[in-house]
Amino acid sequence: MTAVFADSYYFLALINEHDHDHERVVAIAKTLRTPMVTTEFVLLEVADGLAAERWRSGIRSFVQLLRHLPSVQIIPVSTELFDAGIALYTDRPDKEWSLTDCISFTVMHQHKLTEALTHDHHFRQAGFRTLL
């Protein structure tokens, strides 16, 4: 079974009940039977997005939950992955892709993933199918 890539957009909407995509993402999460791949870079971005005091205490347990789900693979931070992301980031000055997105695209290519749990149009620009 082919996995899907989980972007910070997905996790932020899943966690934040005030997010405009929260209900749709929760419905998708309840029916998702496909393995997920994400990165520690994405989880860093999620934590940054939830830095307000009301969210901070839950981030550790959220990450621990993800780490214990057999259907979720979290790609660790590495110098090689960071450098590959930087290479894509600097090779595409015509795009406004974030470094985290470039790292995500690199992982998606490495794992032969074509779909991402995101609404971020940058994934479509990079040739991937977005599922939100």
Q: Quote the CA–CA distance of 50 and 27 in Å, as a whole number.
A: 21
Residue 91, pLDDT > 90, answer yes
> What DSSP letter does each residue of 44-73 carry, written as one string?
HHHHHHT-SHHHHHHHHHHHHHHHH-TTEE
Tell me the pTM: 0.93
Q: 36-39 and 4-6 as β-strands: parallel, antiparallel, unpaired?
A: parallel
Q: Which two tokens stand for residue 58?
A: 């839950």
Q: Name the pLDDT band for 52 (thresholds 50, 70, 90).
A: confident
Q: What is the pLDDT of residue 56?
A: 85
Q: What is the mean pLDDT of residues 86-104?
A: 97
| Structural domain for 43, as ranges | 4-130
Could you tell me the CATH number of the domain that includes residue 25? 3.40.50.1010
Using the structure block, give the residue that is written with the tokens 């057999």.
Answer: 70
The answer to whether residue 1 scores a pLDDT higher than 80 is no
What is the total count of domains within the chain? 1
pLDDT band at 53 (very low <50, low <70, confident <90, very high): confident
Interior CA angle at 48 toward 43 and 54, to 5°? Answer: 110
Q: What is the pLDDT, as a whole number, of residue 54?
A: 81
Q: Give the residue among 123, 113, 132 at the shortest CA–CA distance from 4.
A: 113
With tokens 């939830």, the residue in question is 50
